[in-house]
Chain A
Amino acid sequence: MWAYVTRRILYNVPVFLGIVLFVMLALRVRDPVNSHLGKVKSEQEIKQLRKEMGLDRPFHIQYFSFLGDVCTLNFDDECWDHPGRSVGEVMGESIGPSLALTLPALVLTTLISVSISLVSAWFRGRWMDKALVITAVLGMSVSFLVYIVVGQYMGTTWLKEHTGFAPFAVSFGGYDGEPTAMEMLLEVWPHYYLLPVLISVIVAMGYDTRFYRAVMVEESARDYITTARAKGASRVKVLFVHMLKNAMIPIITRVVITIPFLITGSFLLESYFGIPGMGRELLTAVNHGDFPVVQAFTAVFALVYILSNLLTDVLYAVFDPRVRLS
Chain B
Amino acid sequence: MMQRLLNSRSFRKYWKHKPAVVSSIIIAGYVIVSLAIVFGDLVTIENCEQRVAPKELPGFGLLPVVSEELNAQEEYVNEIDRLLQKQRKNPDTEEKCRYMGLEVVDRPPEQLEKEIEEYFAVADQLYQIDDIDDIVAEGGSEAQDILSKLTKAREIQRGFYTAESQDALARKLQLSLGTDRQGRSIFLRAVYSIKVAITVGFVTGILAVGIGTILGLIAGYSGGWADALVTWLYSTFASIPNIVLLMVLAWVFQGGEVDKWLNDLTNNYFEKLIGGALEETLIPVIIAFSATYWIGPCRIIRGETLKLRESEYVQAARVMGFSRFRVLFRHILPNLSHLMLINFSLLFIGAIKSEVILSFLGLGVQRGASWGKMIDASKSDVANGMFWQIGAATAFMFGLVLAFNILSDALQDILDPKHV
A and B associate in one complex: yes
Minimum C-beta distance from A135 to chain B (A) = 12
In the bound assembly, the distance between CA atoms of A16 and B405 in angstroms comes to: 34
| Contacting residues of chain B (298-342) with chain A, CB-CB under 8 angstroms | none
Say yes or no: A137 contacts B239, CB within 8 Å. Answer: no
Interface of A is mostly: helix
Chain A residues closer than 8 Å to B251, beta-carbon distance:
26-27, 286, 289, 294
| A19 in contact (CB, < 8 A) | yes
| Contacting residues of chain B (198-245) with chain A, CB-CB under 8 angstroms | 232-233, 235-237, 239-241, 243-244
Say yes or no: B258 contacts A35, CB within 8 Å. Answer: no
In the bound assembly, the distance between CA atoms of A260 and B236 in angstroms comes to: 15
Query: Looking at chain A, what size class is its interface with the partner chain?
Result: 35 or more
Minimum C-beta distance from B347 to chain A (A) = 15
| B248 in contact (CB, < 8 A) | yes
Contact pick for B248, options A27, A146, A218, A268, CB 8 Å: A27
Minimum C-beta distance from A49 to chain B (A) = 17
The digit string for A276-290, where 1 denotes a CB below 8 A from any CB of B, is 000100110011010
| A150 in contact (CB, < 8 A) | yes
| B178 in contact (CB, < 8 A) | no
Say yes or no: B361 contacts A267, CB within 8 Å. Answer: yes
Q: Which residue of A lies closest to B402 (CB)?
A: A141
| A142 in contact (CB, < 8 A) | yes
Chain A residues closer than 8 Å to B353, beta-carbon distance:
143-144
Contact pick for A31, options B247, B257, B371, B406, CB 8 Å: B257
The digit string for B41-53, where 1 denotes a CB below 8 A from any CB of A, is 0000000000000
| B363 in contact (CB, < 8 A) | yes
Say yes or no: B254 contacts A141, CB within 8 Å. Answer: no
The digit string for B237-269, where 1 denotes a CB below 8 A from any CB of A, is 101110110011111101101100000000000
| Contacting residues of chain B (394-420) with chain A, CB-CB under 8 angstroms | 394, 397-398, 401-402, 405-406, 409, 420
Say yes or no: A305 contacts B241, CB within 8 Å. Answer: yes
In the bound assembly, the distance between CA atoms of A137 and B236 in angstroms comes to: 31
Q: Which residue of B lies closest to A305 (CB)?
A: B239
**Beyond A14-B232, A27-B248, A142-B394, is A264–B243 a contact (Cβ under 8 Å)?**
yes
| A62 in contact (CB, < 8 A) | no
| B194 in contact (CB, < 8 A) | no
| B98 in contact (CB, < 8 A) | no
| A94 in contact (CB, < 8 A) | no
Minimum C-beta distance from B236 to chain A (A) = 4
Chain B residues closer than 8 Å to A146, beta-carbon distance:
375, 390, 394
Chain A residues closer than 8 Å to B357, beta-carbon distance:
143-145, 268
In the bound assembly, the distance between CA atoms of A153 and B404 in angstroms comes to: 29
| A181 in contact (CB, < 8 A) | no
In the bound assembly, the distance between CA atoms of A15 and B238 in angstroms comes to: 10
A-B CB proximity, top 9 nearest: A18-B236, A30-B257, A141-B402, A141-B401, A15-B235, A35-B255, A145-B375, A153-B382, A214-B420
